[in-house]
Structures are given as C-alpha cells and as structure tokens.
Homo-oligomer: A and B are copies of this chain.
C-alpha cells in the first residue's frame, strides 16, 4: 500500500450535471428568457434583475451552451481550416494571421488534416459540413468533383488558398506556382546558370513550380542558344526537411553531375544543401548557387544568406479571413479570386 497525498484518479468525463438557463432562472426567481436577455441584451433588463441574475450566474458557474444557440440561429461561429499537415507545414504563417483575424472577429477555428495527397479531404467533409461552419478554408484545391458538389450544396463559403485557377469552388486566394518556377528560371539564367538540379517536392504545387521552371529554361535556350542546359530532378518528401536537402546535394556530388545551381522546394531543403556544401567545402555561390522557396524567418540568417522566393503568405491568411468573415456577415464578395503574387529575394547564395 502506498501513501499518496495527490489524486491518483482523474475526474472521469462529464460528471457535473450541466447547468442550464433554467437552473439560473429558478435560482434567481425569474423566467429563463429574462436570464437569456440579461446575458445577451442587458439593456432590456432592469438594473436590479440584471444584478441578481449576474450574481447567480457567477455563483453557479453557468456557461451558455452554444450548441443550443447555434442550432436555433443556424450560425455556428465556427470556421474550418484544412491543411495537408501541421508539422513542417510551410503554411503556418498564413494560418497564424488567419486565426488571429477570425478569432478577433469572434469565431473559432477547427483544424483538419487532409494529407499532402488530399486523401482525407473527402472523408473529412461530411463531418465538417455536419457542424455547419460559417466558412471553410482549404489549403490547395478541392480535388474531387463529389467534394465540390457537397460544399456547394451545403452553401458554406469556401476559400481555396495557396493556388490560383479560374475554377474556384467559391473563392480563392493564392498565386501561380507555375509563374514562380518561370521567375526562378529567369533569375538563375540571368546569373549565367545553365546546369540545374531541381529538388522537387511530392506535391502538386511543387510539381507546378518545377514544370514552370523547365518550360522557361527551354524557352530561354531556344531564344538565346548556347550549349544545351542541364536539368536534373531530385525528389524530396513533403513536408520537406533540412536532412533531405543534405541528402540531395550528397547525391548530386556522388553522381558527379555538372550542376551550378540547386533549386530547392523549400528554404528547409536549401538550408540542408548549404550545410552539405559547407561540409564538403563547396563554395556557395561561386561554385554552386542555391535557391530557396518560402522566405522562412531563418532565410536571412543562414551563411551565406539564402536567396529565395518570398510569398505574401500573411496576405493569403488575411484575405481569406476577411472574405470569410464578410460572407458570414452576409456581405457580397465582388472579387472572389485574389492573386497575391510573389517576389524573388536576392541575397547571397545565388
């Protein structure tokens, strides 16, 4: 037998009988609607009653059941956000801004993970729609036709973020990943790079950027001539890691590929390439240029400082939040597709 001065067993689940408006009303000697009013429209209640009700509310620790109110009003003050994954997600800066905004507006955020292959997107949808959220943000596109229909039938405002296209389910905030790829190609070409290694992530967006890059390199070569550019592809996992960056450069060296620029699927991967270069005493940028993607907070702190692509991710979060809240409040959105663009940040690795 052991001596314990502390509880060895938790309260098990909902124990305390839930306190309802009724309980408060009885205790305060008024009707329930009066209590409701005291809480929601205190100006309609006499000072005296108000005081008594509030006292009882505090005493009993009454907290209104929002489920009931939501059921009645058919507004849940809930917004759902769908992400591929939480861990290692490059979307967190936009998530942060989004959450701050909608929370300030009095909404709560439910999170769902779809997987990078969107495999869970549809199965999540029923349970999401079932909660009657006032809005849904989906990172990436809604892929299946069934899912599109469900969302449209439900009449829930939807914003698809981080990509852009001309066929949104409802609204859309993002940018063209294809254009990013092309811009990076232009940038590296201008720096006289001709032999590229592409670390490509296993996700739609990464592949779009890679496609844009390839396309543009071919165009440039057709236009300006010179020896045929090289373009080697290396796959990296998503969410991407520093480790995969090191592995990629190690592989490039091992295969003795002629490469003068590594184009990375993320700043993490780029950081890994830089570490591997450092370990192998490869001079960046003179021997090898390294291009990141995302302009993460550490990108300006690496040695040498990382050249990368800056996405206005905070704008994504902010726009999506504003659109959704506006919809929830019955306003019309006149501009349902927003392209927030991107820019090349030239630092020291190119």
Contact = CB atoms under 8 A, between A and B. Distances in A.
A190 interface: no
Interface string A141-180: 0000000011011111100000000110011000000000
5 contacts: A10-B170, A10-B332, A61-B149, A108-B110, A242-B298
Contacts of A132: 18, 65-67
Contacts of A29: none
A336 B272 contact: no
Nearest to A81: B111
Interface in A283-306: 297-298, 300-303
A65 B71 contact: yes
B297 A157 contact: no
A155 B68 CA distance: 18
Interface in A17-64: 18-19, 61, 63-64
B301 A335 contact: no
Number of this chain's copies in the assembly equals 2
Contact of A6 (B11, B15, B337): B337
Interface string A66-81: 1110110011101000
B9 A327 contact: no
Most chain B CB within a 10 A radius of its CB, from A13, A70, A150, A337: A13
Interface in A218-265: 241-243, 245-246
Nearest to A330: B13
Contacts of A303: 275, 278-279
A322 B111 CA distance: 19
Contacts of A242: 297-298, 301-302
Interface string A1-14: 00000111111111
Interface of A: 6-16, 18-19, 61, 63-68, 70-71, 74-76, 78, 85-88, 92-93, 95-96, 99-100, 103, 108-113, 126-132, 134, 149-150, 152-157, 166-167, 170-171, 241-243, 245-246, 268, 271-272, 275, 278-279, 297-298, 300-303, 323, 327-337
Contact of A63 (B13, B154, B170, B333): B154
B86 A95 contact: yes
A155 B14 contact: yes
B71 A297 contact: no
A331 B12 contact: yes
B111 A109 contact: yes
Contact of A18 (B61, B74, B108, B157): B74
Contacts of A155: 11, 13-16, 18
A66 B268 contact: no
A12 B327 contact: yes
Nearest to A323: B10
Contacts of A279: 303
B113 A157 contact: no
Contact of A103 (B75, B103, B113, B246): B113
B63 A130 contact: yes
Contact of A99 (B19, B111, B156): B111
